[in-house]
Amino acid sequence: MNSLTTIGRILFALPFALFGINHFVMMDFYTGMLTSFIPFGGYMIILTGVLLIGTSLSIILKKFIRFSTFTLAALLLLFITTIHIPHLFQEEFDQKLTLITMLKDISLLGGALMIGGACREKSDA
């Protein structure tokens, strides 16, 4: 990878590690975002934090990039379908902010798919 691609890959992955850490530090905030049909409440927040940190480190360290980016894309799709879309229809949430956050996650999902699709299997060893 050339230096711009390396910088872009790291800049893409680094915020996900910080989001993952936030899942441990700001657990009450994330608990308030959960919709009623997401099982296991706090445990799901911890699992999400672990997945965000793990996929971020994997992308930064260039280990199993395809698997990690596709896992991240699936996680973002789950956020969109189980958190953002339901919040669009609930009055206690700011619909404009929810829409912006959902569009951001759609964009990040696309970026994860692009990075995963651009990586060759031999570089993921």
pLDDT at 123 over 50: no
Domain of residue 87, residue span: 3-124
- Give the tens place of pLDDT for each residue, 102-114: 999 999 999 999 9
Would you say the C-alpha torsion 71, 111, 94, 88 has a positive or negative sign?
negative
Amino acid 121: pLDDT: 58
Give how many domains the chain has, as a whole number: 1
How much is the pLDDT for 107?
96
Over residues 8-64, the pLDDT tens digits come to 999 999 999 999 999 999 988 888 777 677 777 788 889 999 999 999 999 999 999
Distance between CA atoms of residues 110 and 93, nearest Å: 25
Give tens-digit pLDDT for 60-109: 999 999 999 999 999 999 999 988 999 899 888 888 999 999 999 999 99
How far apart, in whole angstroms, are the C-alpha atoms of residue 53 and residue 50?
A: 5
pTM of the model: 0.84
